[in-house]
Amino acid sequence: MKELRTQVAIVGAGPAGMLLGQLLDRDGIDCIVLERRSRDYVEKRVRAGVIEYGIANLLEWAGAGERMRSVGLVHHGVEIRFERRGYRIPLSELADGKPITVYGQQEVVKDLVALRLESGAPLLFDCEVTELSGLESETPSVLAMSSDGPIRVTCDYVAGCDGSFGVANRAMPASTKRYERNFPFSWLGILAEAKPVSEELIYARHENGFALYSLRSPTVSRLYLGVGTTETLEEWSDDRIWHELNTRLATEERPTVNEGPILERGITAMRSVVLDPMRHGSLFLAGDAAHIVPPTGAKGMNLALADVRELASAFVASFRHRDQSLLDTYSERCLERVWRAEEFSNYMTQMLHPAQDGFENGVQSARLRQAVTSREASSVLARNYVDLNSL
C-alpha cells in the first residue's frame, strides 16, 4: 500500500473539489485531490452553464477566470415564455447592474485542472476512494484504489466533494438529518450543434411540459425538455425532441429553435436533498455531496463553489491561526444559504412545470404571471437568479 500524508484530502475533482484545491494551494496548505474518473471524463462531462455574478468574481479571484472572462457569455436578462408570449426579465437592471456568465461547468473544471497540474500540486485521476476512516480522531485517513494499486492518505481533514452518491455522503452518521423531495418530472437535456436563436436564456411553461433554451457558444445550443420520471432516451427520437422543443418554445411572433446534430443527450431526475449537519468530525461535505437542488434555478454549481469559498477560509483559519471557530460554524453558515437556494429552486421548478392537479396549476400560473408583470416579484427573482450565493 502506498502511504501519503497531507493536510486536507479532497475527494472528487468536480467544481467543488477543484476550486477548494486551488484556494488551499494559493494559501500554502497541502492537499491531495483524488478523483475516480479520468481527466478526459471530468473535462467533458456536460452539466451546468450559468455562473452567478459573485461566483464568477470568486473564480477570477482564485486565478481561474481568464478563459471564462474571454469566452464566457455575459447575459443581462432572461426570457420567460408562457401562453405563446415571451416576457423579458431585465436581470441586471433589477439586480444592481449585475450580469450572469454562461460558461460550461466542464470548462470551469478544465481551467482548474490546468492550473493544478501547472503548479505541480497532487491530483490523482482514476483513483477511487473506497473508505474514510478515523473521522472522529485527529488523524483521519482516506483509502483509495488507483491504477497502480491501493493508496492510503493520512490527513488532518477530509473534504467530501464527491457528489450526491459518493463515499463521503455515505460516511455521515445515521443521526444526520436528511431532507428530501422528489419532483414528478425529469429533464431531458441535449447539446446540439445549432446556432443559438436568442442571445438570452428562455424558460418556457407549456401545457405539454417545461422547456429551456440555453447556449454554450455562437454555434452550440443547450436545450432541455421536462419529461416523465419513467421516460427513457429510447422514447425520444431526434425528430420528437425537436418537435417538442419547437412546440413548447413557440410564441406568436418569435422564431423557436434552430435544429442541428445532437452531440450529447441525457435524462436527469429532479430532486432536492439537504443534509444537516454538513460535518462529521474531521469530514466536511461541500457541493452535491451535501445538497441537491433541481436545476431550474441554475444553482447547483454555484452552491458548490460558494461552499468551498467558506470551507477554504475555515481551513486557513485553522492551520494558520489555530482558530477553529470557522470550521465549527461552517455547516450552520452554509445551511442558511443552502435553504435559500432550495427555496428559490423549488419556486422556479413549481412555477415553470405544469402540474397534474388543476388547482395547483392555477396557483402556479398566477405566480408566473406575477413574476413577469410585477416589478417587485421580478426584482426578487432577478436578485436570486443573479447572485443568491453572495447576497
Judged by beta carbon distances under 5 to 8 A according to partner kind, the member of ligand PHB, ligand RFL, none in contact with residue 34 is ligand RFL
Of 157, 203, 213, 347, the catalytic one is 203
Q: Which of 98, 299, 330, 353 is catalytic?
A: 299
Closest CB to ligand PHB among 200 and 259? 200
Cα separation, 279 vs 262, whole angstroms: 41
Binds ligand RFL by CB under 6 A, chosen from 23, 89, 167, 334: 167
User: Does residue 35 touch ligand RFL according to CB under 6 A?
Assistant: yes
Q: Smallest distance, Å, CB 27 to ligand RFL?
A: 20
User: Least separation, in Å, of the C-beta of 33 and ligand PHB?
Assistant: 25
The binding site for ligand PHB (CB under 6 A) comprises: 48-50, 201, 212, 214, 222, 295-296, 298
Q: Does 287 bind ligand RFL (CB under 6 A)?
A: yes
Judged by CB, which is closer to ligand RFL: 81, or 216? Answer: 216
Q: Which is nearer to ligand RFL, 129 or 245 (CB)?
A: 129
Binding partner of 222, given ligand RFL, ligand PHB, none, CB within 5-8 angstroms per partner class: ligand PHB
- 3-class SS letters over the chain: CEEEECCEEEECCCHHHHHHHHHHHHCCCCEEEECCCCHHHHHHCCCCCEECHHHHHHHHHCCCCHHHHHHCEEECCEEEEECCEEEEECHHHHCCCCCEEECCHHHHHHHHHHHHHHHCCCEECCEEEEEEECCCCCCCEEEEEECCEEEEEECCEEEECCCCCCHHHHCCCCCCEEEEEEEEEEEEEEEECCCCCCCCCEEEEECCEEEEEEEEECCEEEEEEEECCCCCHHHCCHHHHHHHHHHHHCCCCCCCCCCCCEEEEEEEEEEEEEEECCEECCEEECHHHCEECCHHHCCHHHHHHHHHHHHHHHHHHHHHHCCCHHHHHHHHHHHHHHHHHHHHHHHHHHHHCCCCCHHHHHHHHHHHHHHHHCHHHHHHHHHHHHHHHHC
Out of 302, 349, 364, 389, name the contact with ligand RFL by CB under 6 A. 302
75 is catalytic: yes
Catalytic site includes residue 90: no
From ligand PHB, ligand RFL, none, interface partner of 296 (C-beta below 5 to 8 A by class): ligand PHB
Q: Does 16 bind ligand RFL (CB under 6 A)?
A: yes
Active site residue 299: yes
Beta bridge partner(s), residue 211: 204, 225
Q: How far is the CB of 223 from ligand PHB (least distance, A)?
A: 9
**Which residue among 103, 295, 347, 353 is the active-site one?**
295
12 binds ligand RFL (CB under 6 A): yes
Among 23, 25, 29, 36, binds ligand RFL (CB under 6 A): 36
Residues near ligand RFL, by CB under 6 A: 11-17, 34-37, 42, 47-50, 105, 128-129, 161-163, 166-167, 187, 189, 268, 287-288, 295, 298-302, 304
Residues catalogued as catalytic:
75, 203, 295, 299, 385
